[in-house]
Structure 1
Amino acid sequence: MVRVGLQISATLENIERIETCHPNYSFFVKVKCTNCGETSEKWHDITESERLQGASDSRNPDGFNFYMKCKMCSRENSIDIVEKTNEPYTQDDAGKFKAIVVFDCRGVEPVEFSPRAGWIVHSAENGQKFEDVDLSEDDWVEYDQKNKNSVGVYEFASQFVKLKK
């Protein structure tokens, strides 16, 4: 079992924080089997509020957030989102990588992240709240009517890092 943190980095313009619509946000990832090294070509979604009932073991009798059997080596693999690890990305974090969620990985690890829609953006200085923001283009710009200024998320980047327990 390996814990992997999803870290993001972005430049924020007039934004207090961005966050996922936890626990219903779908993290779209490509994964790699740690047994044979096979990397998936398709995107898989992992949502904390969804449990796969058909796949379980003694540690997770309620199932997993993600389960797959490797096409190459037939190994059974799973990923769970670690409860209470969702963190917002704030203006103090801007320009630096920060972990926003932690995955508990068994036999498979995420290697690529696609942010897509479902983000919540809070403008600075008690400004407007934008919901279901799509960050799939790595940049997002809007106008805050309350504060009468532009807001934006630029140069969105992500990486996965192995964490110590």
Structure 2
Amino acid sequence: MPSYLTIEAQLEGVTALQPTDTEENPYYYTFRVQCTSCRETHPNWVSFNRFEENEIPGSRGEANFVWKCRLCTKTHTASIVNGPNAYEAQEKQKAMNIIEMDCRGLEFIEFKPDGDWEAKGVDSTTTFSGIDLLEGEWYDYDEKKSEEVSIKEITWNISR
């Protein structure tokens, strides 16, 4: 069943916000995970990237994330099938899908943006990298435009 990690944010002076996610420098997507069979929530945050494939026990398939629930002992999987997509600046902020995931037997219930993000200056060629969104907001200065830039009012959601 497809799941989507969505973001809604107030972008000032920047656009094309996305995780820094290349094969050489993969972004580790960090979530709280819950078993859909017994509703057990894993006690720790889990992280995975879209380039790493893990074997699924008892199957010929592979997935980005394989988890065996401690309570019901079922094995569940998730893979990133689309994305990451850039969040563009717009007049009225609205939610947009960053990644699409194929989740089987599990659901992600919370996201933690603990990695580097990047964005581009609006109307300038400035590239901002190493953006940290863990605090829920980010501020910088676009030298080429002589303006402050920011990302505020960030809301993460996981939808099905």
Same fold (TM over 0.5): yes
Q: Which amino acid is 1:80 matched to?
A: S
Q: Return the alpha-carbon distance in structure 1 between the equivalents of residues 44 and 134 of structure 2.
A: 16
When residues 40 and 15 of structure 1 are mapped into structure 2, their CA distance, relative to the original with a 3 A threshold, is same
The aligned counterpart of 2:112 is 114
Matches for 1:35-50 after TM superposition, within 5 Å: 35-50=37-52
- Residue 32 of structure 1 and its aligned partner are, at CA, apart by 0.7
Q: Return the alpha-carbon distance in structure 1 between the equivalents of residues 93 and 111 of structure 2.
A: 18
Q: Is the 8 A contact 1:55 1:64 kept in 2?
A: no
- Residue 41 of structure 1 and its aligned partner are, at CA, apart by 2.5
**Residue-pair matches, total:** 157
When residues 35 and 131 of structure 1 are mapped into structure 2, their CA distance, relative to the original with a 3 A threshold, is same
Q: Which amino acid is 2:74 matched to?
A: R
Deviations 1:91-124 (A, max 9, x none): 0276211111011001111110011222111111
Q: Which amino acid is 1:31 matched to?
A: V
Q: Return the alpha-carbon distance in structure 2 between the equivalents of residues 99 and 120 of structure 1.
A: 16
Q: Percent identity?
A: 27
Query: Structure 1 unaligned runs (5+)?
Result: none
User: What secondary structure, in the 3-state scheme, does the structure 2 residue paired with 1:89 have?
Assistant: coil
Which deviates the most, 12-21 or 87-96? 87-96
TM (norm. structure 1) is: 0.88
Match of 1:103 among 78, 98, 101: 101
Q: Return the alpha-carbon distance in structure 1 between the equivalents of residues 88 and 94 of structure 2.
A: 10
Query: Structure 2 unaligned runs (5+)?
Result: none
Q: Is the 8 A contact 2:111 2:156 kept in 1?
A: yes
When residues 56 and 98 of structure 1 are mapped into structure 2, their CA distance, relative to the original with a 3 A threshold, is farther
Q: Is the 8 A contact 1:12 1:94 kept in 2?
A: no
TM (norm. structure 2) is: 0.91
Q: Return the alpha-carbon distance in structure 2 between the equivalents of residues 69 and 103 of structure 1.
A: 18
When residues 111 and 125 of structure 1 are mapped into structure 2, their CA distance, relative to the original with a 3 A threshold, is same
The aligned counterpart of 2:32 is 30
